[in-house]
């Protein structure tokens, strides 16, 4: 890949910056000794200079046309924040302990979304390392970290990042991030990073001082779109495509989750994601490690995960929001106020058997038809979840699912995703029913921008007719309240919920039926008001499971699916060990049932049976 920014090689450093419409560019070394160097322009718009006798840790800026100086757009580290100088990083200096790590199969992953700043009291990469053992013990083997590219101040969700190659200084910078990735791999945990290529944050955004990174041909909720297909777009495409390779090669990441890909616009003959996949294929062969791309997409299009050879974008996986919406509105009576187009049991059944619920139907929220069918797309191309940073943080009170529904419904939600034919993802703390909120927070330094952010959040929530304003995202207290309370994990209902997740994850990892993602081996039968039977087979058809869910508040009866022999119970949410407290509502399910038999299903329960001759 083309090296941009500061590429360090043992005492020598090549500085490169793309600025095709500038006539001159000057490199200002600011430490350890102040020096100025004029850079040479190439035919494709890059300014380059190579210096000897320079050390990692040296700080620098660029001055387009010799005027005001700015940080490097491809900076790998901003130790003094978004407005300060960039720092030279030696990526060869770090000694990886787990050089034999080659990654994990995609189908085996249990994702866990983390925000570094609120995951621990310290809010750093280093403070996360001691917690890896607890995650591994739970069965979690894939951490998905919310964006860590340098953002303004020391607290932010990460979607206001302005240096897509740099690691946030307040989290620990490049060195500590590598130490965290290395430690995770030593525990058998893959590490994914959330990245943002659809916009650049407002504060510290100096991109336009260098080149035409943006276009007014398209508009996003955050302003002009990134220029992926207009004049001078070659340099922009290279910049973002090579940042993906940067994270893969220099940080040994296992993949990226790409934010809002539907807000990346490219009408060129060779789509941006086709370019990315071509580059990635070459680097995968060189490095010998797996690397996956996960999309957040609002399109409900199977094109996202199709191969570029077939006209697709080449993502390995995409988030399945329809699954969340279909399930959530059936668990929380107030859910339909947020998702007016959901609420039918048939929609949840379709989410299990097909994937996209909206696959060409008219959608009131969008005031048009939306989506296309994903019925033939294998389940391991989708990630499902009960909550994530958006679902929690975009509520006025930052409420997690544990703050919205009762204990039994939380258990049902966990079973619904972990027994599904999709890749499951938990939001940090979900596994122990954490009840600390997760708010939206920022730490900007520009007063006018702060006012815009605060007022923007207030107007956004006014649409939901909330009776109180959201907390001020700029106040540090909002951030502090969002930190996890790890002490909860050790006792009471929180420990019960943790053990429930461990049990479900263990079954998922070991039962052959739950290793099959083929849609034709899945059936869903509805019963009663809010009941369904999820019937799944192994790929060799030698094993079967029936997962009996009753999301309703009334007992229901079903006829057991017929088998040559009988069904044996392997999990029951009403067994005493899974109850929030001792109750007379403990299970009365038999340990064994027979095909054609009528059984009664407890309210708010899930029971799993396997074919006894399996």
Active centre residues (catalytic): 259, 296
Q: 142: which strand partners?
A: 111, 190
Closest CA to 357 of 300, 401, 419: 300
Contacts of 453 (CB under 8 A, 6+ apart): 442, 444, 473, 474
Pairwise CA distance, residues 104 & 97, whole Å: 17
91 is in an annotated binding site: no
Helices then strands, counting H and E runs in the chain, come out as 13, 30
Residue 18 corresponds to which tokens in the numbers above? 């793309």
Q: Is 585 left (phi over 0), alpha (psi -120 to 50) or beta?
A: alpha
Residue 1 corresponds to which tokens in the numbers above? 């890949």
261 is in an annotated binding site: yes
119 is in an annotated binding site: no
Pairwise CA distance, residues 372 & 357, whole Å: 9
392 is in an annotated binding site: yes
393 is in an annotated binding site: yes
270 is in an annotated binding site: no
The C-alpha R_g of the chain, in whole angstroms, comes to 26
535 is in an annotated binding site: no
389 is in an annotated binding site: yes
Pairwise CA distance, residues 319 & 257, whole Å: 9
Q: Are 298 and 356 a contacting pair, CB within 8 Å?
A: no
Place of tokens 């309370």: 485
323 is in an annotated binding site: yes
Place of tokens 């946030």: 168
377 is in an annotated binding site: no
324 is in an annotated binding site: yes
Residue 288 corresponds to which tokens in the numbers above? 């010998």
Pairwise CA distance, residues 608 & 613, whole Å: 15
Contacts of 375 (CB under 8 A, 6+ apart): 353, 354, 355, 359, 519
325 is in an annotated binding site: yes
357 is in an annotated binding site: no
394 is in an annotated binding site: yes
Please give the DSSP secondary-structure letter assigned to residue 208: G
Please give the DSSP secondary-structure letter assigned to residue 70: B
390 is in an annotated binding site: yes
Residue numbers in the known binding site are: 257-262, 321-325, 389-394
Residue numbers in the known binding site for substrate are: 257-262, 321-325, 389-394
């Amino acid at each position: 890949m083309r090296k941009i920014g500061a590429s360090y090689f043992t005492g020598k450093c090549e500085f490169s910056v793309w600025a095709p419409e500038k006539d001159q560019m000057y490199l200002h070394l600011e430490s350890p000794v102040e020096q100025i160097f004029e850079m040479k322009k190439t035919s494709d718009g890059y300014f380059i200079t190579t210096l000897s006798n320079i050390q990692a840790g040296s700080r620098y800026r660029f001055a387009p046309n010799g005027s005001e100086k700015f940080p490097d757009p491809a900076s790998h580290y901003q130790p003094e924040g978004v407005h300060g100088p960039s720092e030279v990083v030696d990526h060869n200096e770090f000694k990886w302990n787990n050089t034999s790590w080659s990654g994990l199969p995609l189908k085996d992953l249990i994702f866990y979304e983390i925000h570094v700043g609120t995951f621990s009291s310290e809010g750093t990469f280093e403070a996360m390392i001691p917690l890896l053992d607890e995650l591994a013990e739970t069965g979690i083997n894939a951490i998905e970290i919310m964006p860590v590219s340098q953002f303004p101040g020391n607290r932010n969700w990460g979607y206001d990042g302005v240096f897509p190659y740099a690691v946030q200084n307040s989290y620990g910078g490049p060195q500590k991030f590598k130490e965290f990735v290395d430690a995770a791999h030593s525990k058998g945990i893959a590490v994914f990073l959330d990245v943002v290529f659809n916009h650049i944050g407002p504060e510290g955004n100096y991109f336009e001082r260098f080149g035409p990174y943006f276009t007014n041909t398209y508009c996003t909720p955050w302003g002009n779109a990134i220029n992926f297909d207009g004049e001078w777009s070659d340099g922009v495409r290279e910049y973002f495509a090579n940042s993906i390779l940067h994270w893969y090669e220099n940080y040994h990441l296992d993949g990226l989750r790409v934010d809002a890909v539907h807000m990346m616009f490219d009408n060129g003959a060779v789509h941006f994601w086709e370019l990315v996949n071509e580059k990635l294929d070459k680097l995968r062969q060189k490095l010998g490690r797996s690397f996956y791309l996960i999309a957040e997409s609002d399109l409900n299009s199977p094109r996202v995960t199709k191969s570029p050879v077939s006209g697709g974008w080449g993502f390995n996986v995409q988030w399945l929001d329809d699954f969340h919406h279909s399930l959530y509105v059936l668990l929380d009576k107030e859910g339909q106020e947020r998702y007016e187009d959901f609420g039918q049991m048939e929609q949840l059944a379709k989410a299990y058997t097909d994937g996209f619920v909206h696959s060409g139907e008219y959608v009131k929220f969008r005031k048009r038809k939306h989506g296309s069918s994903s019925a033939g797309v294998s389940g391991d191309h989708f990630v499902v979840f009960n909550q994530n940073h958006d679902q929690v943080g975009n509520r006025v009170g930052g409420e997690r699912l544990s703050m919205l529904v009762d204990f039994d419904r939380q258990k049902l939600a966990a079973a619904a995703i972990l027994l599904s034919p999709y890749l499951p993802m938990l939001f940090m703390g979900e596994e122990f029913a954490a009840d600390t909120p997760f708010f939206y927070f920022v730490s900007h330094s520009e007063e006018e921008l702060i006012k815009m952010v605060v007022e923007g959040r207030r107007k956004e929530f006014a649409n939901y007719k909330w009776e109180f304003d959201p907390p001020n995202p700029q106040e540090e207290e909002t951030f502090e309240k969002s930190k996890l309370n790890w002490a909860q994990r050790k006792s009471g209902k929180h420990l019960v919920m943790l053990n429930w997740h461990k049990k479900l994850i263990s079954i998922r990892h070991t039962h052959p039926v739950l290793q099959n993602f083929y849609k034709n081996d899945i059936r869903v039968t509805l019963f009663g008001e809010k009941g369904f039977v999820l019937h799944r087979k192994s790929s060799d058809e030698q094993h079967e499971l029936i997962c009996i869910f009753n999301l309703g508040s009334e007992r229901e009866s079903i006829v057991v699916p017929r088998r040559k022999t009988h069904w044996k119970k392997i999990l029951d949410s009403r067994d005493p060990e899974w109850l929030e407290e001792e109750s007379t509502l403990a299970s009365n399910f038999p340990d064994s049932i027979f095909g054609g038999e009528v059984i009664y299903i407890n309210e708010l329960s899930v029971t799993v049976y396997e074919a006894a001759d399996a």
